[in-house]
Amino acid sequence: MNSRTEPAESAAEPEPPDAAIPRAVPTGTATRAYARVAAALPRPRKGGPRVHAGTARAGARRPSPPDDASARPPLLRELLLVVGLFVVYKAGRQLAAGHTAEAFRNAGHVWNLERAVHLPGEGAVQGALLHSDTLVHLANTYYATVHFPATAAFLIWLYLRRPVHYVWARRILAAVTAAALVGHLVFPLAPPRLLDAAGLVDTGQVYGPTVYGAHPATDSMANQFAAMPSLHFGWALMVAIGLIAATRSRWRRLWLLHPLLTLLVIVGTANHYWLDSIVATALLGGALAVIHLPHRTATTAGRAQERAGEPVADLPELVGAGR
């Protein structure tokens, strides 16, 4: 009689890790409470532990270290340097004054050149301003009061928060201003508000406020024949570029509205031609090409890591700053 021998034990399936832990099965009200608690517990997932999205975002936005204080120049030296540069600039502009006939002759050449290359007429911008006395007054006030304070505030903020960027921006502004002063000396230019052929209104004299005297030839406070290049626009553009370079906010490119508004103001008030801003942009571009910002700062490093989707780690050896 053939007998079939059954194995003493059948091969058992591998038990999940949780099987080794005995669990009591609750009943009644406890069952419902148990189900709610169990549902709230995290479930294991393939491919490693689960990372909460908020934690990942928080890690990616970890602030980068502040600028290295050792890069900040001595305050007294910087004050003396900036004041000295300003005095030289004002004295140089006065040296360029007094060339009335040459300034108006050059103005006629610039006006004709703009028409020859089909640049839009400055009168189109001024015409929009003249629709409202309030708008003209605001444009004149912007022209008279924003130029120096905005640039000074920009340099002060960089000095306190971004020393490396401050040194770079100060050198750029000094180079552009020096080049502009040479331009004022060799090419005196009457602004379009003084040019009869332009047919534009001197909004400062008519609506106020104005920083210029009524008679340019006898104006001892300012040289009205220093229209090209426009430092109003050149400085405003550098302020925007400097703030974009020194910050990491996703909205930082909105700083470009400052030079755009400045351009509309200086043209609309007939203090500058379009070419004045074009020349200022060319000078600034040349200065930026020669004077470079240090390639590796905490700001640039943070941007590179954010684009790669990596957390921004602390980088104590880097200078520059984040947001």
Length of the chain: 323
Dig out the tokens for 34 from the structure: 């148990």
Instruction: Return the number of other C-beta atoms located less than 10 Å from residue 261's C-beta.
Output: 14
243 touches 237 (CB < 8 A): no
**pLDDT of 321 higher than 50:** no
Angle at which helices 257-268 and 122-129 cross, to 10° = 90
Dig out the tokens for 126 from the structure: 């001024």
Per cent of the chain over pLDDT 70 is 66
**For the chain, which residues make up each domain, given as ranges?**
100-292
Least confident of 164-173, 191-200, 211-220: 211-220
pLDDT the model gives residue 175? 95
73 touches 164 (CB < 8 A): no
The whole-angstrom separation of Cα 317 and Cα 323 is 18
Instruction: Return the number of other C-beta atoms located less than 10 Å from residue 23's C-beta.
Output: 9
Letter for the amino acid at 115?
A: R
Cα diameter, the chain: 136
The whole-angstrom separation of Cα 116 and Cα 122 is 14
233 touches 272 (CB < 8 A): yes
pLDDT the model gives residue 55? 46
Its sign, for the CA torsion 220, 221, 225, 229, is positive
Per cent of the chain over pLDDT 90 is 53
pLDDT the model gives residue 71? 77
Taking residues 158-184, report their average pLDDT: 93
Least confident of 74-78, 242-246, 249-253: 74-78
3-state secondary structure of 297: strand
3-state secondary structure of 198: helix
DSSP code for 217: G
Q: What is the pLDDT of residues 28-61, one digit of tens each?
A: 555 565 566 556 555 555 554 454 444 444 444 4
pLDDT the model gives residue 315? 38
pTM: 0.71
- Roughly how many angstroms between the first and final C-alpha of the chain, as a whole number? 90
Q: What is the pLDDT of residues 274-305, one digit of tens each?
A: 999 999 999 999 999 999 987 655 555 455 55
**Topology of the domain covering 100-292:** Vanadium-containing Chloroperoxidase; domain 1 (1.20.144)
pLDDT the model gives residue 23? 52
Dig out the tokens for 212 from the structure: 């210029």
The whole-angstrom separation of Cα 202 and Cα 260 is 21
Q: Among residues 128, 94, 95, which one has the least CA distance to residue 270?
A: 128
Taking residues 177-184, report their average pLDDT: 92
